[in-house]
Structure 1
């Protein structure tokens, strides 16, 4: 019992632990030896939904340090992601040739996962994302990036391989669940994320429309490849009705909590009703949580889109359901508005409007792009801004003017 108590206390201190709003109740569901370590699957049963954590640990003689998780007899167990035997072993288990891998290191600053960078012949070349929370089924990040890489898409890093695991699950008929532990892909040197770049450009009032156009082409290319490679579906009456109900539910919450949204409720609802009456495009896999922080600028290499896990608050099984491609477009349009507002440069509204126009123009003219119905896109932008108004009112009241301005821009 002492071991599980120590291990649970360590898990609860990690940045990737997702249950900080409740008192945890941990138990070790499974423990399996792997190269250089033991992978412990640790269940937290205390939350509204039980959460399973991926905790690989290696033996060490050290008894102190932030990575020391628990005691095991005369030795201690430490975070294995900092041990080359384990990290390089994961690549080997994925089927990668590791003869030229010379070292590995953990990236700092991560929140929900752990990323490990590998040097090949002394140069960073591979990055592995280790998922810390596990779910039954292949992680959407793996599915989407593998498919895009196999299709030769220039808009994502090359995919190298993934690693799965099984664990006991009494809730499934076969008594076993299977999911993704992590995956490896190309490491891109010298990249900057789109949010940081856009913020600098907005702050200085510099023209960002060329970059916005390139982003529009990249997003359209990803949508086209995903629509060709993965399942698509008609947006039937049930889908339209369910989507409309979700819009109405968020609008009702926002109108209750944000007086400025309540004043605009009738106008917003009119846009929603118009969009629900329009023909909708086919549903397909999308990014699901697209914004400027999810794109990387490669020096002299254009944009790469990353992190296809989808909206973090949605259950994992829902993230793999075909969705509306314009939802990604709406997310990026709102991100331009946030960059302009946070940057606070001269004539921020005009800067954001120019970026939005350039992005949409490039998206609709790109080969294989999904048609953008203006009424549907306007409704999706409004729904995103309505959601943002709820979040900002609850968490960052000083930022509330940003989504409210977005609502007014969409209504005008």
Structure 2
């Protein structure tokens, strides 16, 4: 009982634990041997609105690491987070089919919110990064599916994919009695990178031109869209899919109108633009990034952009993230991200800075290989939907930031 209590208490304190709005109620759904003599515990938290399954590998050691100690056994050994135990981390990498003969060390990256990332040194230099998914879902994680096919296609806009590991666990809700999903995957580690948000924010704050970077980013996004269209399923949008998108737009608009008076004042104009977009020809639906913004792109020194984190919107069910979607949704997300960088940077003439970035990104995307044709009305509707969602978030969490999405709504309407 002490082990269960200590494990539950430790999990509830981790940054990747997603149930901080409720008191957890954990039970061990499964426990199985893991590399390096570790044990992978699958913990189900039944207390939230939806049950959540957590991936918690543990190892017993004599000498505890500086962080990650879960409990101490009666005989004085320490139960620790196995991501800090080299025998487990290197063994897991080997299980993914990666050659570990030249691996000389591993370490956990700090700052992760929902997963755990482990960096491996090869011949003394960081070369591989493994993302361990902490919450498990039935089906292959979209991050794995998309990065694998892009890497296999030779795309220069994603890190090279090396391998992944899967697991199976009991699931009485399925006819087969079990579910299976992705534990994690390994890919190329890119030293010296900075994320696009940090770079754009510095440029916006100082009023420096960012249009060359925005153009390169437009080319990268178009290239990824083209490669995904070639490699994975695409389809024409059926009437029921258009109706579902329209319902989602209007549901968010109704929530925003009820909570943000400025959105309510613009409701009729926004709804009219939605109606126009729903009447226009749509591009084929395909796999996309799904949650694209400046924080999801990495600038490689003298190496251009890499796009990462293809898991899609974190709040959408995993099965929905794999459904073919509208490529302009990614474009809209990046346009809104430029607006946020300009506003948060608060440099000289922030609005003009953001507008120049949007124009450069769009013009480059539209003329780059792989680009999907952008219908202006549909793109405006997607930008509006994103800004409407942002207005809800800001009104609830950061009221001082509410002018940012409201300015985006006015710009799209004009």
What is the TM-score when the length of structure 2 is the normalising length?
0.98
Map residues 104-253 of structure 1 onto 2, 5 A cutoff: 104-253=106-255
Map residues 238-317 of structure 1 onto 2, 5 A cutoff: 238-317=240-319
RMSD over aligned Cα atoms: 1.0
Secondary structure in structure 2 of the residue aligned to 1:11: helix
Alignment match, 2:85: 83
Q: Verify the 8 A CA contact 2:27 2:44 in the aligned structure 1.
A: yes
CA distance in 1, matches of 2:6, 2:27: 11
CA distance in 2, matches of 1:18, 1:359: 34
Alignment match, 2:41: 40
Deviations 1:20-68 (A, max 9, x none): 0011000111111112211111110111111010101110235796411
Q: Verify the 8 A CA contact 2:201 2:342 in the aligned structure 1.
A: yes
Identify which range, 319-328 or 57-66, moves more after superposition.
57-66
> How far 1:2 moved relative to its partner?
2.1
> How far 1:259 moved relative to its partner?
0.5
2:331 pairs, out of 329, 332, 336, with 329
> How far 1:95 moved relative to its partner?
1.2
Alignment match, 1:26: 26
> How far 1:76 moved relative to its partner?
2.6
Secondary structure in structure 2 of the residue aligned to 1:166: strand
CA distance in 2, matches of 1:165, 1:367: 38
Consecutive unaligned residues of structure 2, counting only runs of 5 or more, are: none
Consecutive unaligned residues of structure 1, counting only runs of 5 or more, are: none
Secondary structure in structure 1 of the residue aligned to 2:228: helix
Alignment match, 1:14: 14
Map residues 358-369 of structure 1 onto 2, 5 A cutoff: 358-369=360-371
Q: Does 1:394 align with 2:396?
A: yes
CA distance in 1, matches of 2:202, 2:153: 34
CA distance in 1, matches of 2:49, 2:295: 29
> How far 1:368 moved relative to its partner?
2.0
CA distance in 2, matches of 1:8, 1:366: 50
Deviations 1:99-121 (A, max 9, x none): 10000000000000000000000
Q: Verify the 8 A CA contact 2:193 2:300 in the aligned structure 1.
A: yes
Q: Verify the 8 A CA contact 2:64 2:80 in the aligned structure 1.
A: no
CA distance in 1, matches of 2:82, 2:325: 37
Secondary structure in structure 1 of the residue aligned to 2:235: coil
The ranges of structure 1 where at least 4 consecutive aligned residues each deviate by more than 4 angstroms after the TM superposition are: 62-66
Alignment match, 2:5: 5
Q: Verify the 8 A CA contact 2:224 2:370 in the aligned structure 1.
A: no
Alignment match, 1:61: 62
CA distance in 2, matches of 1:400, 1:202: 19
What is the TM-score when the length of structure 1 is the normalising length?
0.99
